[in-house]
Structure 1
Amino acid sequence: MTAAELLPLPDDYAEVLAALKDQVRQAQVTAQRRVNTELIGLYWGIGRQILLRQEAHGWGAGVIRRLAEDLRAEFPQMRGFSQRNLQYMRNMASEWGAEANVPQLVAQLPWGHIRTILDKAQSPEEREWYSAAAVEYGWSRNVLMNMMMNRSMQRTGTAPSNFTQHLAADDSELAQQVAKDPYAFEFLGLSGEVAERDLEQALMDRIVETLREMGPGFAFVGRQVHLEVDGDDFYLDLLFFHVEQLRYFVIELKTGKFQPEFAGYAEQDVMPSAA
């Protein structure tokens, strides 16, 4: 044991040390964000120059290839100057508009995320929606890819319900926004006729993927949660809590064809439900 380890410590040493560790971690995150912002700004500027010269002087693939070779020769320590990457830079400037400055939202995204959105987005609306969601919820590139492949934007807020009849207008809109139609649970690997209890168990066995498909903000509370209402016992298949809307969501699992009565709102004013 060193002399420093044997030294008596002030009473508040542990508290100060924890606070300093937090400051270091925050500084590291801030530095990483600044580096990313600078990098995306650089890529934006390169892409804008290529785009403008393609439009004004007809730069073709051969010129872009030569530009990539010359940049790599001058900056061998940087990996981002492949011909393909330069084309992505040009596409970024084109798809988000060729203004002088990179859009604030795009500047917050890692380069891999931007490439994924450029590859998968089918419209400007999709680009903006997935860009905003990736920034707001901190999606990894794999999660972003999964959300886009499963068409989360098109499915979000489309599930049938009677929220409008039982909730105030603002609450109804918020509750509806988090519901998808349909939910995609192919990752469970289930096929053919499946019992409701087997479906429930499969969802719990893959709880991380289940929460990812549910959408941002959901936290798992429990399964077969017991409620007593007016002396009657009820067991909720799955219970979730949405941390942004501060309300519970009940998932009642049904197999077979969807029936209108499956979707609704708990009449006891306890919590909304989704099927």
Structure 2
Amino acid sequence: MTIENTHLQTIKQLKSAILASRYRVAVLANKEMLGLYFSIGKLISEKANQEKWGSKVLEIVSNDLQNELPGLRGFSASNIKKMRVFYETWADNFTIGSLVTNQLENIENNINQLVVIGSTVTNQLAIAFQKVGFSHHFEILSKTKTIEERVFYIQKTASEFWSVTTLRYHLKSNLFQQLGSLPNNFAKAITQDDLRAKALVAFKDEYLLDFVNIEDPEEENERVIENEIVRNIKKFLLSLGTDFAFIANQYRFILDDTEYFVDLLFYNRKMQCLVAFDLKKGKFIPEYLGKMNFYLSALDEMVKLPHENPSVGIILCKEKNNKVVEFSFRDVNKAMGVATYKTENDLPNEYKGLLPDAETLKKLMD
């Protein structure tokens, strides 16, 4: 090994050590902050209940804190209220190792240690819980109703490093309800239990393509939608999930001197397989499955690598009847699903602009 290569290897090791240390510091800082906010929320909740605080008391508390600690940030009345909600939401599942009042008297106990007390929170979830930022936590608890939903979004946020913007998108698109709802034939077509489970959570029943804006509905066709998706491929990847990689649009293969084209071709890292999307502007009809079955056979024969799993196909339509889809799948052996999409023209006003702008996306994806 040359001196130059040795030097580069040393720099890589140093960089890795520095980044790993920064990550651990960030995790510890976040853990401490959550514990502090939880303990403050507990104190405020108890005081408010005992002393029958009115709506203006938190403003007074916030102002007095500012006077005691000039320049203090993050403790506005609205944020203190969020801390109270945070505590009251999770009070049955966590307790705090040392109360705020005790910390002022005992410096050695100056760690706001969250301790699991509820049976619904596992140690694994507790680890994920303390990796998620407070802004993420408040988005989750203010937009969900059940602990199952909250656990799902906390684990996804922690494992996939979602930004607040990404989390908001998945909350508004009802990812929790969408997962596993895609009409498919995976139970029959995918024999490996682990792979089938991954496929079921990889796809949604409906995709919100609020970046596709077709000014004249009469001009809407598959190629226009495809071009908009390719032009906004980072946004489409965000709607698909973190495990997808884009390969090509109009992916070309030749069979018996005839050219064929797959609308959109992706690779899913968790499933380790090719994923073909066929775009349809109208309502699903059974004939679409024959075309997709042909594409998947060709991809498995001509494109799939030996170590990869069989390809999966998703037919993306404007509309579908689930009963028609179910009957159409009866004798199809290739793994497929049928999903719908909504463009900006179809979305209610509250869903428009759901995905982040180009500059935000660039920061997320770089």
TM-score interval (norm. to shorter): 0.7 to 0.9
Offset from partner CA, 1:44-74 (integer Å, 9 cap, x none): 1111222233344434434333322222222
Equivalent residue number for residue 5 of structure 1: none
Q: Structure 1: 5+ residue runs without aligned partners?
A: 1-8
Q: Which of 227, 233, 236 is the matching residue for 1:210?
A: 236
The 3-state SS of whatever aligns with 2:75 is coil
What is the number of residues matched between the two proteins? 267
Deviates more, 1:246-255 or 1:123-132: 123-132
The 3-state SS of whatever aligns with 2:276 is strand
2 CA distance for matches of 1:238 and 1:10? 43
Residue 125 of structure 1 pairs with residue 148 of structure 2:
yes
Q: Which of 213, 220, 242 is the matching residue for 2:268?
A: 242
TM-score, normalising length from structure 2?
Answer: 0.66
- The percent identity for this pair of structures is 27
- CA RMSD in angstroms, aligned pairs only: 2.4
Equivalent residue number for residue 27 of structure 1: 21
Equivalent residue number for residue 211 of structure 2: 187
Equivalent residue number for residue 69 of structure 1: 63
Offset from partner CA, 1:219-261 (integer Å, 9 cap, x none): 1111222345687653211111111121211101111012355
Q: Structure 2: 5+ residue runs without aligned partners?
A: 97-113, 115-125, 301-309, 316-366
Residue 138 of structure 1 pairs with residue 153 of structure 2:
no
1 CA distance for matches of 2:135 and 2:189? 43
Residue 219 of structure 1 pairs with residue 248 of structure 2:
no
Residue 45 of structure 1 pairs with residue 85 of structure 2:
no
After TM superposition, the structure 1 = structure 2 runs for residues 254-273 of structure 1, keeping only pairs within 5 Å, are 254-260=280-286, 262=288, 266-267=296-297, 270-273=310-313
The 3-state SS of whatever aligns with 2:270 is coil
Deviates more, 1:196-205 or 1:154-163: 154-163
Equivalent residue number for residue 100 of structure 1: 95
The 3-state SS of whatever aligns with 1:12 is helix
The 3-state SS of whatever aligns with 1:188 is coil
Equivalent residue number for residue 174 of structure 1: 198
Offset from partner CA, 1:13-46 (integer Å, 9 cap, x none): 2221221122112212221222121111111111
1 CA distance for matches of 2:127 and 2:84? 18
* AA aligned opposite 1:188: V
The 3-state SS of whatever aligns with 1:72 is helix
**Which structure has the higher relative contact order (CA within 8 Å, separation 6+)?**
2
1 CA distance for matches of 2:170 and 2:4? 50
The 3-state SS of whatever aligns with 1:236 is strand
Offset from partner CA, 1:179-237 (integer Å, 9 cap, x none): 11111112111251412111111100000000011122111111222345687653211
The 3-state SS of whatever aligns with 1:132 is helix
